[in-house]
Amino acid sequence: MQPRNSYQCQDCDKTFNSQQALEQHTRDKDHGVKCDYCDHVFKSSEACYQHEAAVHSHECDDCDSKSFSSSDALEQHKRDKHPSFECDYCDHVFRSAEACEQHESVVHPSHTCYECSKTFSSSDALGQHKRDKHPSFQCRYCSRAFRSVVERSTHETTAHATYGCEKCGSTLFSAGALEEHKRTRHPSFECNHCFHFFVSTEARDQHVDAAHPMHLCDKCDKRFSSLDVLKEHKQEEHSESIDVPLCSLEAHWSSSRSSSLQSQPQPLIPVNQTSHRSHNDPVMTVDTFILNGQEFTGKSPHWLRNLALRLPLYR
């Protein structure tokens, strides 16, 4: 008994689930089933499907539904029938070399490497290529560049003579660079009394106070670094100043008074005395004096005593 909803072929007793399937079976049996990719004809759709799956599983997208049994066969077909030219800078593929070159020239303008003549689509790509393939080491003292650190070092040694810093051992490659290094790294302050140098004014002043104490001239208030220099100054600048005690001067006046009746000596009279502070002599009373009726301002008693001894009045 035939099952319900079952459709049976009267020629081969095959059954189908629908009327349409039975009719397709009848057409295939009467005319055969032709392969969609080639000229083969099969007695049944199942046989045709099996054939297509085995022989035509790899279909070419560039031609009219042509398929191949393997990927290798498909690739060979594409190389032979559909040659492709891939852009060197993006994923675009072209059918001809001319089309590919035109695309690259418009979309990817070239940046040429002068070392190896390779071209790149951007300055960034060219720069990366240079860093990877042609590394350069620029001289630290001029604009020349070298392929290796060794080449750069050789150039710097030969082309830029070295100047060593005697204070810290640093090596500089020009006299100007050495001077700048010393000025900024080792500032020097020279002592005015000897050849010592110091790194700060404070250190220099401390040295001067300790090694070169000031010695004050009691005749003109000038200061000197040593007693020898002070004595030399006195001999040169104050050689006429003979330090004669005032009592000796008065005795000389008394002797002169007895021998001269017409002229009477006048004493050394201080006028408007002013106290002055100095380094070694805390108080010094020198301002204006009158000698023999003549006023002298700004002269020390030593100078005036010497003048009194030299005056004809007292000879």
Q: Around Cβ 242, how many Cβ atoms within 10 Å?
A: 12
Is residue 287 over pLDDT 60? no
Report pTM: 0.21
Rounded CA separation 33/20 (Å):
16
* Of the residues 237, 268, 293, the one at which a domain ends: 237
**pLDDT, average across residues 185-213:** 81
Q: Note whether residue 311 is domain-resident.
A: no
Q: Note whether residue 125 is domain-resident.
A: yes
* Of the residues 237, 270, 293, the one at which a domain ends: 237
pLDDT, position 263: 44
Higher pLDDT, 276 or 311: 311
Looking at the 3D structure of the chain, how many domains does it have?
2
Is residue 181 over pLDDT 50? yes
pLDDT, position 48: 81
Q: Note whether residue 267 is domain-resident.
A: no
Is residue 18 over pLDDT 80? yes
Yes or no: say if 122 and 110 are a contact pair by the CB < 8 Å rule.
no
pLDDT, position 310: 55
Q: Note whether residue 73 is domain-resident.
A: no
Q: Note whether residue 44 is domain-resident.
A: no
Q: Note whether residue 55 is domain-resident.
A: no
**pLDDT, average across residues 203-215:** 82
Q: Note whether residue 104 is domain-resident.
A: yes
DSSP string, 179-247: HHHHHHHS--EE-SSSS-EESSHHHHHHHHHHHS--EE-TTT--EESSHHHHHHHHHHHSTT-----HH
CATH number at residue 121: 3.30.160.60
Q: Note whether residue 199 is domain-resident.
A: yes
Indicate the pairing of strand 197-198 with strand 189-190.
antiparallel
Is residue 296 over pLDDT 60? yes
pLDDT, position 294: 67
Higher pLDDT, 207 or 162: 207
Domain residue limits at 96: 83-134
44-58, 191-205, 241-255: which has the minimum mean pLDDT?
A: 241-255
* Of the residues 117, 134, 151, the one at which a domain ends: 134
CATH number at residue 211: 3.30.160
DSSP string, 250-298: HHHHHHHHHH-SS--PPP-EEES--EE--SS-S-EE-SEEEETTEEEES
Tens of pLDDT, residues 39-51: 777 777 778 878 8
